[in-house]
Amino acid sequence: MTNPSSYTPRGALTPHRPLADLTWLRVGGPADFLFQPADEADLADFLRGLPGDVAVFPMGVGSNLIVRDGGLRAVVIRLGRGFNAIEIDGETVTAGAAALDAHVARRAAQAGRDLTFLRTIPGSIGGAVVMNAGCYGSYVADHLISARAITRGGEVVTLAPDDLNFSYRHSDLPEGSVLIDATFHTEPGDPEALEARMAEQIAKRDASQPTKERSAGSTFRNPAGFSSTGRADDVHDLKAWSLIDAAGLRGARLGGAQMSQKHSNFLINADQASAADLENLGEEVRKKVLHNSGISLEWEIKRVGEFGT
């Protein structure tokens, strides 16, 4: 089968597409199909024509994702140029789901609008909304006015924050829906001051995180339910990294996977790791942290697909 939909798309539809090169960790088997829609109408018509038993998996830039070695029995939908516009209108910023978080923060700052918390968050706006991404004590939920999505049935819907039911690193996007853009409320700020703040945040991130390694950001959620605020009085006793350190697992390795020496809550592909290496090391860390501290770490990295053979 070359097209699972009754609609012939204008965008690129590729069967049996390996996904490793589309994830930051560079691991993962093939998807049954990868669909890169030309625009909103193309995506809606494609979804409308899909049989109900065909699974859909929206994928951003793969910054927070392990695709297992057996790949995905689904149509993976990856948004591109038709979905990365950034529009600024007074106090509001509307960004396409494929727009990179860092680009949105910078464009807003240039216009004197403050979305600086997005600057150090890896990935795209679609993933940021779905994960209620946050940094320095500010979250997507604090700024979102509305988001638009295309449902599994091909209908365009507008979602308010209450519809998404935001919580720590979570939202309730309707199953099979593909988020296409989001509109944020912003506070005013001096462009130069905003740029300086972001430069300081980047410097702090690069000093403490393995930004030059193949990682997927924070591996586990912080048990306290909060991200680091950056304040001088920030308490670290319930941060995931401190629990991993206490269990003696900074730098721990399994196959080609490693818990970073620089930041122990970062799982990195140190030497041609498989997806199984990465996930199995993460599970070993969870088991040892539970034994050492009595706290069960929860994955922040999304893991999808079938195990390899």
CA distances from 242 to 52, 99, 193, 295 (A): 45, 33, 33, 12
CA distance 202 to 223: 25
Q: Any idea which residue has 């922040």 for tokens?
A: 300
**Annotation says 218 is catalytic:** yes
Answer whether 73's CB lies under 8 Å from 27's CB.
no
Catalytic residue among 63, 177, 218, 260: 218
DSSP-assigned states of every residue in 180-237: EEEEEE-EE--HHHHHHHHHHHHHHHHHHS-TTS-EEEESB--TTS------TT---T
3-state secondary structure of 292: helix
**Tokens describing residue 109:** 């700052």
**Annotation says 17 is catalytic:** no
CA distance 206 to 266: 13
Q: How far is CA 254 from the centre of its chain?
A: 24
Catalytic residue among 17, 113, 119, 169: 169
**Annotation says 169 is catalytic:** yes
Catalytic residue among 40, 213, 279, 300: 300
Q: How far is CA 123 from the centre of its chain?
A: 5
Answer whether 164's CB lies under 8 Å from 193's CB.
no
Answer whether 122's CB lies under 8 Å from 101's CB.
yes
Active-site annotation, residues: 169, 218, 300
